[in-house]
Amino acid sequence: MRLPFGWNHFKIQSFDPFELNLTQKKVNDFTIEVRQNYFQLFWIPFFGLGRKWSIRKNDQLYELPADYKDVIHQRDDLQQPTPWYTYTGLMLMTLAGLCYVVNSKYVYWERHVDFRNEYISIAAENKRRFRQPSPDDYYVLSAADGSEKYAHITRLGSQRIQLSYINEPTVRADRPAQVAGLFAGNAGNLHTMTIDLADSSRLICGEYEKRNLFVGMPLNNDDGKSYRITRIIRMDGPIFKDNGNASHYANGHYSFCMNIENEGLAATITSIEPVEGDIEWIDEGLPLQARPERRIAILGKGNYNKSYKAKIICTDEQGRQLQYLMEGRRMHNTFRKIEM
């Protein structure tokens, strides 16, 4: 493929040779032009390559005689500046680069706001669950060096809770269901510790800006490390999560398709009801089976670039009705169980 690039020129100004004192005739059959040479790419001027004086006669350009050049070069008032549009290509590239930088900064800022809000929401939920513990709670405890412990509530008191935890440093889990499954496989390798419910502020960091400086507190004498609570998993129903995949169908039957996952217990989604925003949620395909670690497609129409909220109603395997609030923007969603 050949790229259309090279040099070209255009007229800056045209003069009558009489007004330039190049001839004594008041009426002439030619004109004197000053022309701008430039480099072009895709026929767009990028930068100048100097100016050139020429004679135009019978719509043809001719080389300017040397004596004419001497006269013109001696006149400062005829020295023409380079027109700004000679650099159109460079200006367009600069403008495109600035737009890209500004858009990238804006997208980064939006994602920062979303991550910050999500972190604050999770920290608030951790504090609520810590102060109102349940036998279904599993704890993820993290140390400053990145090591983790997994714990499960085994005894509830009015002021304290007892946790059974796995003390094997090589044990790792990425999903809530995997955390719960660890205790079945490590039943003979469990240790216990007691946590005071008044220590929530020492164990849970609610400020996004201080999250990397928050160390936590010592929990036992096994390793001498300090731990903080990064997540309290309540395995009493589905745990919905945005899996990061979404599709937009501009000309299709649906406006968009958002994919979420269930990291908790199995359930059946029976309805999706709008709470805020301009999105119409499509009930086609309901009820949906929300099986653990399976993708669930949620369909809708409307403006997903604005903030929206929807209520997801489902039924678990025991027949209980559960409700979850989905909050999102630009098809990035967070979920919170609605206590009934």
pLDDT digits (tens, 9 = 90+) for 61-117: 888 888 777 777 777 777 778 788 778 888 888 899 999 999 889 888 888 888 898
Q: Are residues 268 and 333 in the same domain?
A: yes
Boundaries of domain holding 323: 240-338
Residues 139-176 have pLDDT tens digits of 999 888 888 889 999 999 888 999 998 877 778 888 88
Here the CATH number for the domain that contains residue 330 is 2.60.40
| Domains of the chain: total | 3
Backbone angles phi, psi at 6, to 5 degrees: 150, -155
**Domain ends where: 234, 262, 294?**
234
Residue 176 resides in a domain: yes
Residue 95 resides in a domain: no
Residue 71 resides in a domain: yes
Q: Are residues 71 and 130 in the same domain?
A: no
Residues 310-320 have pLDDT tens digits of 999 999 999 99
Residue 102 resides in a domain: no
- Amino acid letter for position 8: N
Q: Is the pLDDT of residue 272 over 90?
A: yes
Residue 69 resides in a domain: yes
Confidence of residue 1 (pLDDT cuts 50, 70, 90): very low
Residue 216 resides in a domain: yes
Helix (H, G, I), strand (E, B) or coil at 36: strand
Residue 87 resides in a domain: no
Give me the residue label for tokens 């999706």.
272
**Domain ends where: 199, 216, 234?**
234
Q: Are residues 158 and 71 in the same domain?
A: no
Q: Are residues 304 and 244 in the same domain?
A: yes
For 302, residues 6+ apart whose C-beta sits below 8 A from its C-beta are 255, 277, 278, 279, 280, 308
Q: Are residues 190 and 288 in the same domain?
A: no
Residue 103 resides in a domain: no
Residues in the chain: 340
> To the nearest whole number, what is the mean pLDDT of the chain?
85
Q: Are residues 201 and 176 in the same domain?
A: yes
pLDDT value for 99: 92
For 194, residues 6+ apart whose C-beta sits below 8 A from its C-beta are 160, 161, 162, 163
Task: Round to whole Å and give the CA distance between 110 and 241.
Answer: 20
Q: What is the pTM of this model?
A: 0.65
